[in-house]
Structure 1
Amino acid sequence: MREQNAMVSSRFSAIATTLALVLIGITSLAQPVWARETLPSAQQPEQSIQPYLERFSKGITEFTLENGLKFIVLERHQSPTIAFHTYADVGGVDEPDGQTGVAHYLEHLAFKGTERIGTTDYTAEKPLLEKLDQLFDQIQVAKAKGETETAAQLQAEFNQVSEQAAGYVKQNEMGQLVNQFGGVGLNATTSSDATRYFYSLPSNKLELWMSMESERFLQPVFREFYKEKEVILEERRLRTDNSPIGQMIEAFLDTAFTTHPYRRPVIGYAKDLRTLTRQNVQDFYDTHYGPSNLTIAIVGDVKPKQVKRLAKAYFGQYTAKAKPPRVTTVEPKQTEPRSVTRYLDTQPWYLEGFHRPDITDPDNAVYDMIGSLLSRGRTSRLYKSLVETQQVALSAQGGGSFPNDKYPNLMLFYALTAPGHTVDDVGTALEQEINRLKTEQVTAAELERVKTQARAGLLRSLRSNGGMASLLTSYEVKTGSWQNLFAELDKIAAVTTEDVQRVAQATFTPENRTVGRLLSTAQKPQAKSDETQKEGDKGETVQGEIPSPNQPTK
C-alpha cells in the first residue's frame, strides 16, 4: 500500500510528473468507432482533439444501484484486460480529532481479508481478536495509572493471545488470489481527500473481481490490527520522523493552515496511532464506507450490460446508508505572512506556499497553467532561472495544488539550495520570478507550451485503462461529473495571458505567503542566555513573520 502525502519525496515527484503512460494496441475490428480511433497527437491543433474526446465519452455508461453505489463503465476492447478502481470519498480530512491516521490505517487493513478470505477458521479466530481488543484497553488503563507490573502481565497475556490468533491467518491470501488469476497492480492509496483501491485482471475474470471486491467491503475483518500498528508507526518513522524534509512538510502545513484539516498529516500523528483501537477503525468504516460514498470505475474489455447485472448481484447486497457528514471547516483568509524554520541534519531547503481555491473554482485551469509555467520540468521558469542561470539551487519544483484539491489548498514551490548559497538567496530568486508573472504578461508561445504539456498529459492518461479509471472517479466525485474531465481541455485552451497575470497578482501577495526554511543544525543560532532565549530557539521550529530574503534568518 502507498500513503500519499506521508512520503514527501513521492509527493514531490507526483507534483512534478504526469500520469504514467501505458500504451495499448488497437487490434479488434469489432470495436465501436469511438474505441477504434487512434489518439491524436498532442502537437496537433486543439480543435482536432475535442471531437475525439466527445466520441470517446460516448463509450462510457454509468448507473447507480438502489443503495447509492455508482458505477462508471468505459468499454475499450483494445486488449483482453480490465482495470478496476474503487474510489472511497474519504481521506485524512475526514478523521475525528485524536484519530489522525485512521483513514490510512483502514486502507492497510482492507487487504487483510474477510470472514472467508485470509483465515483458516474465522469462528475460532473471532473471539481471539475480541480478546486482544479487551487486553489492549486494559493495558492502556494500567499504563495511565502507573501500574507497571499489571501492564507487563497484561502485555504477556496479549502476546500469547496474539500468537494464537496469528495461527489462523492466511497471509496475503487476497494478493495470492489476484496473482493466481492473472491480476496485476493490486494496491491502494490514501490522501487527504480520498482512499483508492485498484488492480487489473484479465477480462474473463470480471465476476471474480465482483465477488472479491464486494466481499472485501461487505464483510471486512480487521485482523492483525496490532501488528499493522507497528508497521504504520515504522512507516511514519521512516517517512517523517527520520526524514528532515518529511518533518519540514508536516511543520509547513501546520503553519500554512490554522484550522482546516489539511494541516494534519495523512499518516497521522504518532500519539494518535499508538492509541487507535480496532473499534475506532470499525466506527470510521461504518461511517464512511457506505455504498453512497463509493464510486467504482471499470475500464477495459467489458460489456456494460454484464457489468450492471453482476454489480446488482454482488454489490446490491450493501445496505443503503446516508452520505457521511462533509468537512465544513473553512480556513480563514490569511492576512499576514507566516514562516516556519527547522534545524536538522540536512541540506538546506526552501519552501514557499500561497493559498488558492479548490478544483471547482472557475480559475482552476489558470492556477494549473501558472504552476506549469513556474515549475513543470526543465523548461520551467524556476528551473531555468534558479538552477541553470543563477545556480542558487540544485533543483526547483512545485505544483498547483498541495496537499490536495478538493478544498482550498496551496500552490507550493520548493528548492534544494546549491552549495555556497543560502535559502535566502533562493527566496530572493523565487520572488523575482513570481513578481515577473505579476508585472509582465507571459508570451503567447510560452503559454502555448504549457497548454500543450497539459493536453499531452491528459491524452497519455486516456491510453491507460488504469489512468482512465482513476481520472473518471476523481472528476465524478470532486467536480460532480466525470464529463468535466473532457471539459478540461476547453478550460485550458481558454486561459489567456491576461488571466495568468490577473490570478498571479491576486494570489502572490505577501500576506498570502507562507515560507518554510529547512536549515542544517550548524546554522542554528546560539542563545545568549537562558533569560533571553526564545521559545522557538529551545526547539527546532520558529514561527512568525517572514524576514526579508536579503536579511539573515533568525
Structure 2
Amino acid sequence: MNKIILSSFTLLFLVFGSFIPNNKNHIKDKPTIEFTEFTLKNGLHVILHEDHSVPLVAVSVLYHVGSKNEEPNRTGFAHFFEHLLFEGSKNIKRGEFDDYIENAGGANNANTTYDRTFYYEIMPSNQLELALWLESERMLHARVDSAGIETQRQVVKEERRQRIDNRPYGSILEETMKRVYTKHPYKSSVIGSMEHLDAAEEKDYKNFYEKYYVPNNAVVSIAGDIDVETAKELVAKYFASIPKGKKVIQPNVLEPLQTGEVRDTVYDNIQLPAVVQAFKVPARGNEDYYATKMLFTLLSEGESSRLSKSVKDEQQKAVFVGAFPLDLEQNPSVALAFGIASMGVEPLELEAAMNQEYENVKEELIGERELQKLKNQFEANFYTQNSTIAGIAETLADNHVYGGDANLINTEIEKYMEVTREDIQTVAKKYLVKENRVTLYYLPKK
C-alpha cells in the first residue's frame, strides 16, 4: 500500500547504493554491516549504520502496528494512518510535509503490511536533522483531525476502488485471507473495508494514534553518511522528550488447526479463469521457515522455476503462474500459489497441473544443481537488499522487531545456506498437502 508507485521506491534503492561486495558467490567473504543500537528511556529503539560511500542518509521509522492490530469492525486503520500522518502536525502546516523533503532534495515514502507501518526519507546527509524533526513531529503531535480524516478517507476509498474493487483479480489476497483464517486478525484486509472507513469517527482515529504511534512501539533506523555520535545527539534532541505510551501488546490469537481443504468460487470481472491456492506455513524465523521459503522460490522464482517451466511453457495451461510466501510475523503464515488459465483451459486442468508439480517435489529430491541455483538466488537477494542505505535501514529495523536481533542482517543468510535437499522435500511433504490448503476458483462473471 505504498504512498507512491512501487517502481519509484525500487528506483531509489537502486540509485542510492551503499556497499558492493567483492565476491557475490561466497558468503564467507561478505562484508559485515556494522551498526550501533540503543534504547531511549521512553522505549524508542534506535539503530545507526555509518557509511560514507555516498553523501546520503536514509532515515526510517518502523511502527509495530499493522492490520493485525485492528478491531474487527474498524479494519484499515493502520493503512489509513500511513496516509494520514503525511497531513502535517502542530508545527507543520497541512500538506507541507512533502514540501520540506522535496525542497531539501530528498524523497520519501511509506508502506503498510499485516504487521507493521514503515516510513522513510532519503536525504542529502546534511539534511539528517530535518528528517529527524519531521519524524518526531509525526510521532509527537500529528494532525489527527476531522479535516485530514475526511481528506484521507476519500483518498483511501479511491485507492481501494483502483487496487481491489475495480481491478481484475484485485481481490485475490483479500478473498483468500478471509478463508485461510477463521480467528486470527490476519483474515482482515490491510486496506480495510468501505463500510468501516465510513463508520469510523474522529475519536476512533485519535485513540488508535495514541495507542500505537508511540516511541515504545517504534524503531528509528538510520543508515548512510552520518557520524554516529552526532546522530545519537540529534535523535535524543528530537525524540527523547516524547512521552512513553502504554505498553503495546501484540495479538496472541491461536488459529484453529485446519483439518480439511477449503474450496470456494469467486466471480470477478475477468476474462480468464484463475486458480488460487493458499497453504499455511511457518511464520518468519520459525522452524521450517527457511526451507519453506526456498521451496516456494523453487516453484516460482524466474522463468526456469518448476511451475513456470512446466505449467506455463511446456503444458501451456497458464498464461501466468507463480507462488510466494507472505512472511507474516505470527503463526501460521501463508504462502500463495496462483495461475491464470490459458484460453480454453478449465480451472480443474490448471489445478491438476499445479498439484502435479507439488507431488514431484514431494516424491523426488531436487538436484544438487537446482539447490545451488536456489542458494545463489537467495545470496543475490541478500546482497541486493543490503547494497543500499535504504535497504540496510529497513532490514536492521525488521530484524530487530521480527527476529529480536538486528544482527540477523549479517547472519540470517547462513540459515538459507544450511538448507538441504532433504529439508526442502520434508517441508513439501508437510505443508503442500490438501488438508492444509485453501483453493479458490476465480471465474468470469456471467
Q: TM-score, normalized by length of structure 2? A: 0.94
The counterpart of 2:82, out of the listed 71, 90, 107, is 107
- Structure 2 equivalent of residue 492 of structure 1: 416
Deviation string 1:106-155 (CA, Å, 9 cap, x unpaired) is 1111000011211xxxxxxxxxxxxxxxxxxxxxxxxxxxxxxxxxxxxx
Q: Which runs of 5+ in 1 are unaligned?
A: 27-34, 119-169, 523-554
* Cα distance in 2, alignment partners of residues 284 and 349 from structure 1: 38
Residues 68 and 185 in structure 2, CA contact (< 8 A), matched pair in contact too: yes
Note the C-alpha offset of 1:450.
Answer: 1.1
**Equivalenced residues, count:** 441
**Alignment correspondent of 2:296:** 371
What's 2:46 paired with?
71
Q: Which residue of 1 aligns with 2:316?
A: 391
Which of 287, 297, 301 pairs up with 1:362?
287
After the TM superposition, which residues 367-516 of structure 1 pair with which residues of structure 2 at under 5 Å, given as runs? 367-401=292-326, 404-516=328-440
In 2, distance between residues paired with 1:20 and 1:517? 37
Determine the structure 2 residue equivalent to 1:40.
Answer: 22
Q: Which amino acid aligns with 2:399?
A: Y
Higher Rg: 1
CA contact (8 A) 1:365 1:492 kept: yes
Deviation digits for residues 341-396 of structure 1, max 9, x if unmatched? 11222121111111011112122110111011001111110000011100000111
Aligned amino acid, residue 2 of structure 1: N
1:118-129 aligned within 5 A: 118=93
Q: Distance in 2 between matches of 1:422 and 1:93?
A: 36
Secondary structure in 2 matching 1:463: coil
1:399 and 1:411 in contact (8 A); partners too: yes
Partner SS for 1:111 = coil
RMSD: 2.0
Give the secondary structure class of the aligned counterpart of 1:352: strand
Please tell me the residue identity of whatever aligns with 1:93. Answer: K
1:201 partner SS: strand
Alignment-mate amino acid for residue 313 of structure 2: E
Shift of 1:246: 2.2
Structure 2 equivalent of residue 22 of structure 1: 14
1:291: how far off? 0.7
Q: Match for residue 443 of structure 2?
A: 519
> Which of 100, 111, 114 lines up with 1:189 in the alignment?
111
In structure 2, distance between residues paired with 1:363 and 1:93: 23
Contact 2:16 2:56 in 1 (8 A): no
Deviation at 1:102, TM superposition (A): 1.0
Report if the CA contact (8 A) 1:252-1:340 is conserved.
Answer: no
Alpha-carbon offset, residue 86 of structure 1: 0.5
Task: Trace 1:261-410 onto structure 2 (pairs within 5 A).
Answer: 261-346=185-270, 347-401=272-326, 404-410=328-334
Give how far 1:24 is off.
5.5
CA distance in 1, matches of 2:12, 2:309: 25
Q: Contact (CA 8 Å) 1:3, 1:191: kept in 2 or not?
A: no
Measured in 1, the distance between the counterparts of 2:373 and 2:353 equals 23
CA offsets 1:138-195 (integer angstroms, 9 cap, x no match): xxxxxxxxxxxxxxxxxxxxxxxxxxxxxxxx4x2111111111112x1111111100
CA distance in 1 between partners of 2:304 and 2:69 (Å): 38
Following the alignment from structure 1 to structure 2, what is the Cα–Cα distance between the partners of residues 411 and 204? Answer: 42
* Distance change (3 Å), C-alpha of 1:25 and 1:315: closer
- Superposed, which structure 2 residues align to 1:533-544 within 5 Å? none
CA distance in 2 between counterparts of 1:301 and 1:427 reads 51
Quote how far apart the aligned CAs of 1:405 are: 4.0
Instruction: Give 2:130's aligned amino acid.
Output: L
Matches for 1:100-249 after TM superposition, within 5 Å: 100-118=75-93, 170=94, 172-184=95-107, 186-222=108-144, 223-249=147-173
Unaligned runs of 5+ in 2: none
Q: What is the percent sequence identity of the aligned residues?
A: 31
Asked if 1 retains the 8 angstrom alpha-carbon contact of 2:319 and 2:341, the reply is yes
Which AA in structure 2 matches 1:22? L
Question: C-alpha separation between the residues in 1 aligned to 2:3 and 2:320?
Answer: 24
Q: CA deviation at 1:227?
A: 2.1
| Equivalent pair of 2:300/2:308 in contact (CA under 8 Å) | yes
Task: Return the alpha-carbon distance in structure 2 between the equivalents of residues 234 and 396 of structure 1.
Answer: 29
The offset of 1:250, in angstroms, is 1.7
Q: Which amino acid aligns with 2:2?
A: R
Q: Deviations over 1:431-467 (max 9, x none)?
A: 0000011110001110110110110011112211111
CA-CA distance at 1:20 after TM superposition: 7.7
CA–CA distance in 2 between the matches of 1:329 and 1:520?
36
Deviation for aligned residue 1:247: 2.6
Give the whole-Å Cα distance in 2 for the aligned partners of 1:25 and 1:511.
45
- 1-side partners of 2:316 and 2:436: how far apart? 27
| Matches of 2:188 and 2:3, distance apart in 1 | 14
TM score, norm. by length of structure 1:
0.77
Q: Which residue in the other structure is 1:2 paired with? A: 2
For 1:259, give the aligned amino acid: K
Shift of 1:25: 6.9
Q: State the distance in 1 between where 2:45 and 2:89 align.
A: 23
- Structure 1 distance, partners of 2:16, 2:198, is 45
Give the residue type in structure 2 aligned to 1:213: E
